[in-house]
Amino acid sequence: MTLLFECVHRGERHVGLGMPGPGDPLHLYPVKDLDLRAAVTAADGDGAALAAALTRGEEPVVVPAGERAQVTMRPPLLPASVGDAMVSGFMQTHNVKVDAGTQAQPNWFLKGLGDVLKVSGDELRVPAGAVSVTEEAEVVLVYVTDEAGAARYAGYTFGNDLTDIGRFRQHNGHLSYAKLCDAAVAPWLFLGPPPASVTGEVTIERAGREAWRAGFSTGTDAMHYRIADILPGLFAHRALLHPGRVHYVYLGADRSSFHGGFRIADGDRVTLDFAEHGVVVSNTIDWPGAAAASPVER
């Protein structure tokens, strides 16, 4: 499967193809004046056509493995202006969360604009007044709004929809507030349909020690809703479809550490390992004013 990533190297945006191994050099192509979003949607999943558009016959810039720390990864297709990106998602989409009150169309929420998206290694900010936050390991769909105002599917990646689940549990009308935490996203954009089955593991470290670990399961087979049923309903709203806007849509999660009785605290490191896809998303929680927690609190 074709995948691409974006990064900043020596102050300039570059794009690469494929997922390099930990000890591999990076082969990068300067973005320059290329409209990357348009190139991805024009290729429409054709890996060869996309590679030709991205490389433009140029030789790659090779970054040796020992210099990879100088390269900064970016969320895939993130526009230069954060206002041209919208981060949102659906809640209670998975079969494990279906009950008698499940609706025909799941609730949708807005997390924010492009500046709430963080990549692995960044801190995830939590509002000071949050009640109880939890990780949510999710598939993330990426759409680009074309010049005609139509949302065009670009591909998928993976991420952590950090959520103030405590506030939502206190008042389910406060979903919109509960979601106003940062979101982590992998830099890799996979071209192709969303994955049917994704399993992985979440690990939470506190004060350098493992404090909680469990598996998770997601993907379209784990969902109560079909993508074809819920995304057209979302993108029927013209207010969302400004030309050039990139949408990052989180598809919902399996059970989390909160459901397992664990409480995340300021300074915890949350690592999501989407092992089947070779993707790891790891972030430290920045939660000002949070109550101190024991190193082994569960």
Instruction: Clarify whether residues 150 and 247 are in a common domain.
Output: yes
Who wins on pLDDT, 294 or 125?
A: 125
SS3 (DSSP) at 197: coil
Highest mean pLDDT among 77-86, 167-176, 288-297: 77-86
Of the candidates 251, 198, 199, 255, the residue with the CA atom closest to the CA atom of residue 229: 251
Asked whether residue 224 is assigned to any structural domain, the reply reads yes
Average pLDDT value for the chain: 94
Given a contact cutoff of 8 angstroms between Cβ atoms, the answer to whether 219 and 193 are in contact is no
- Cβ burial of 231 (10 Å; 0-12, 13-18, 19+) is buried
Cα torsion 60, 61, 67, 72: sign? negative
pLDDT at 251 over 90: yes
pLDDT tens readout for residues 1-27: 789 999 999 999 999 999 999 899 999
The residue count of the chain comes to 298
Instruction: Clarify whether residues 125 and 102 are in a common domain.
Output: yes
pLDDT tens readout for residues 101-135: 788 899 999 999 999 999 999 999 999 999 999 99
Instruction: Clarify whether residues 66 and 187 are in a common domain.
Output: no
Percent of the chain with pLDDT over 70: 97
Given a contact cutoff of 8 angstroms between Cβ atoms, the answer to whether 294 and 267 are in contact is no
Who wins on pLDDT, 262 or 101?
A: 262
The model's pTM: 0.95
pLDDT at 291 over 70: no
Q: How confident is the model at residue 94 (pLDDT cuts 50, 70, 90)?
A: very high
User: What is the tally of structural domains in the chain?
Assistant: 2
pLDDT at 118: 98
**Mean pLDDT, rounded, for 239-250:** 97
Report how far residue 99's alpha carbon sits from residue 224's, in angstroms, rounded to the nearest whole number.
Answer: 11
pLDDT at 25: 97
Of the candidates 83, 258, 70, 274, the residue with the CA atom closest to the CA atom of residue 164: 258
pLDDT at 294: 62
Report how far residue 212's alpha carbon sits from residue 210's, in angstroms, rounded to the nearest whole number.
Answer: 6
Tokens representing residue 147 in the block: 């010049």
Instruction: Clarify whether residues 193 and 270 are in a common domain.
Output: yes
Report how far residue 24's alpha carbon sits from residue 68's, in angstroms, rounded to the nearest whole number.
Answer: 9
Asked whether residue 296 is assigned to any structural domain, the reply reads no
pLDDT at 2: 87
Instruction: Clarify whether residues 49 and 178 are in a common domain.
Output: no
* Long-range CB contacts for residues 233-241, cutoff 8 Å, separation at least 24: 233/105, 234/108, 235/143, 235/150, 235/151, 238/149, 240/86, 240/145, 240/151, 241/145, 241/149, 241/150, 241/151
Instruction: Clarify whether residues 105 and 65 are in a common domain.
Output: no
Asked whether residue 94 is assigned to any structural domain, the reply reads yes
Instruction: Clarify whether residues 69 and 86 are in a common domain.
Output: no
pLDDT at 177 over 80: yes
Cα 247 → chain centroid: 11
pLDDT at 54 over 50: yes
pLDDT tens readout for residues 274-290: 999 999 999 999 999 77
- Range of 32's domain? 3-74
Of 96-100, 135-139, 252-256, the least confident: 96-100
pLDDT at 298: 43
pLDDT at 296 over 60: no
pLDDT tens readout for residues 181-200: 999 999 999 999 999 999 99
Of the candidates 69, 61, 64, 67, the residue with the CA atom closest to the CA atom of residue 31: 61
Instruction: Clarify whether residues 111 and 34 are in a common domain.
Output: no
